[in-house]
Amino acid sequence: MATKLAPACRSIALPAPLPLDSGQALDRVKIAYETYGELAADRGNAILVCHALTGDQHLASPHPITGKPGWWDRMVGPGKPIDTNRFHVICANVIGSCMGSTGPASLASDGKPYGMRFPVITIRDMVRAQIALLDALGIARLHAVVGGSMGGMQVLSLAANFPDRVERVLAIATTARHSAQNIAFHEVGRQAIMADPNWQAGDYYSTETSPDAGLAVARMAAHITYLSETGLTEKFGRRLQERDEKGFGFDADFQIESYLRYQGLTFTSRFDANSYLYITRAMDYFDLAEEHGGKLADAFAASRARFFLVSFDTDWLYPTAESRSVVHALNAAGAPVSFLELSAPFGHDSFLLDVPALDRVIRGFLEQ
């Protein structure tokens, strides 16, 4: 298991315990992060990018385990839409994750991994950690905060809870609250992990095994929700995998089966099952209106930032209606907001893929 805990290239130790929504506090917090581009002398050009559920700080540099390009390499770099010739781009691994920031695989004060002793965290707790990092880096005010999916939840939470810290807010393919269907899919994943005997109530770090089979099933179920039905039909349809006839067995006959199995399998080499439990829980707990007295507009009452919301027409995980409800709340709060539904065939994952219109939106909004 230890190999899944990649050494963070850069990290800081927070000077004080991090207060959590649960009422607990997290001691000795480490935040692993990456930066791209120079910080201006006036510290006014910093952009925080928040990553999604299984993302990490390796935004525009190779992943240390898989060796693949950073997850937003197409978006972040010199001359790219988030232009590192102009901006200082920061991306931190969220707490609860497994890429160097403190999470369930980290050592507790007794020198043993937390496992399920790790406190349940929320999206707002993740944002508190992001703010603590900015404090440590001496960045009082962000030029912008940007993120898709769970990254977008952090973006909205940061804008709501730390309104003085950001000038531009760009939330992509996201929601202000997890729906019953969102929770249901996550619960399937959690039950798949917890049903794996190798999970051992989360106490598997010292053993030779880990709940990879359960984690792979969780990833497979989630992966379906990231893609559109149309996209799946176009990409795979009912095409067979390296055979001319159906095999009349339980091997992967169809390309879609083979693809999903591969997605499940490779995921387990880079992600910790307990982190999957904790981060999905944080997402399911997310309800920005509830945090602010039940009215979403009130969440943004103190904001002075400009907002941009982007949704994708084929995203059925966080459909356009979810972004619209945030836009309506921002309108009600009197905040300046733009909204665009982009057409792209890839479903929820569109924010990670080749959608040139998204590039233009992001570049334009950041340079306004």
Give the residue numbers marked as catalytic. Answer: 149, 315, 348
Q: Are strands 168-172 and 306-312 parallel, antiparallel or unpaired?
A: parallel
Is 120:31 a contact under the CB 8 Å cutoff? no
Token output for 70: 């950073």
Q: Which of 299, 302, 319 has its CA nearest to residue 310?
A: 319
Is 364:308 a contact under the CB 8 Å cutoff? no
CA distance 50 to 124: 12
CA distance 249 to 300: 55
Query: Under the criterion CB under 8 A, does residue 191 sit at the interface with a copy of itself?
Result: yes
Query: Under the criterion CB under 8 A, does residue 261 sit at the interface with a copy of itself?
Result: yes
CA distance 16 to 46: 24
CA distance 47 to 52: 16
Considering the complex, what minimum distance in angstroms separates the CB of residue 239 from a copy of itself?
9
Which lies closer to a copy of itself via its Cβ, residue 191 or residue 338?
191
Considering the complex, what minimum distance in angstroms separates the CB of residue 102 from a copy of itself?
17
CB neighbour class for 216 (10 Å; exposed up to 12, middle 13-18, buried from 19): buried
Which lies closer to a copy of itself via its Cβ, residue 27 or residue 187?
187
Considering the complex, what minimum distance in angstroms separates the CB of residue 178 from a copy of itself?
7
Residues 151-170 that bind a copy of itself (CB under 8 A): none
Cβ neighbours of residue 342 closer than 8 Å, sequence gap 6 or more? 310, 311, 312, 313, 350, 355, 357, 358, 361
Residues 31-90 that bind a copy of itself (CB under 8 A): none
Which lies closer to a copy of itself via its Cβ, residue 102 or residue 182?
182
Q: How many CB atoms neighbour CB 138 within 10 A?
A: 9
Q: Which of 51, 58, 177, 306 is the binder for a copy of itself (CB under 8 A)?
A: 177
Query: Under the criterion CB under 8 A, does residue 187 sit at the interface with a copy of itself?
Result: yes
Q: Which stretch binds a copy of itself (CB under 8 A): 28-36, 101-109, 223-231, 298-306?
A: 223-231
Query: Under the criterion CB under 8 A, does residue 195 sit at the interface with a copy of itself?
Result: yes
Q: Which stretch binds a copy of itself (CB under 8 A): 10-18, 85-93, 134-142, 184-192?
A: 184-192
Q: Which stretch binds a copy of itself (CB under 8 A): 76-84, 95-103, 152-160, 260-268?
A: 260-268
Q: How many CB atoms neighbour CB 68 within 10 A?
A: 11
CA 275 centroid distance within chain: 12
Which lies closer to a copy of itself via its Cβ, residue 8 or residue 227?
227
Q: Which of 94, 148, 149 has its CA nearest to residue 126?
A: 94
Query: Under the criterion CB under 8 A, does residue 260 sit at the interface with a copy of itself?
Result: yes
Token output for 238: 């009912």
**Residue linked to tokens 């010739």:** 85
Which lies closer to a copy of itself via its Cβ, residue 256 or residue 344?
256
Q: Which of 106, 62, 59, 107 has its CA nearest to residue 84?
A: 59
Which lies closer to a copy of itself via its Cβ, residue 60 or residue 279?
279
Q: Which of 185, 204, 318, 346 is the binder for a copy of itself (CB under 8 A)?
A: 185
Considering the complex, what minimum distance in angstroms separates the CB of residue 25 from a copy of itself?
13
The one-letter code for the residue type at 304 is R
Which lies closer to a copy of itself via its Cβ, residue 153 or residue 260?
260
Is 126:135 a contact under the CB 8 Å cutoff? no
Residues 119-158 that bind a copy of itself (CB under 8 A): 119-120
Q: Which of 181, 269, 343, 368 is the binder for a copy of itself (CB under 8 A)?
A: 181
Which lies closer to a copy of itself via its Cβ, residue 111 or residue 249?
249
Half-sphere exposure of 253 (CA within 13 A, CB side): 8
Q: Which of 16, 184, 269, 295 is the binder for a copy of itself (CB under 8 A)?
A: 184
Q: Are strands 88-92 and 30-36 parallel, antiparallel or unpaired?
A: antiparallel
The binding site for a copy of itself (CB under 8 A) comprises: 21-22, 116, 119-120, 177-181, 183-185, 187-188, 190-192, 194-197, 213-214, 216-217, 220-221, 224, 227, 229, 232-233, 235-238, 246, 248-250, 252-254, 256-257, 260-261, 264, 277, 281, 284-285, 287, 290, 316
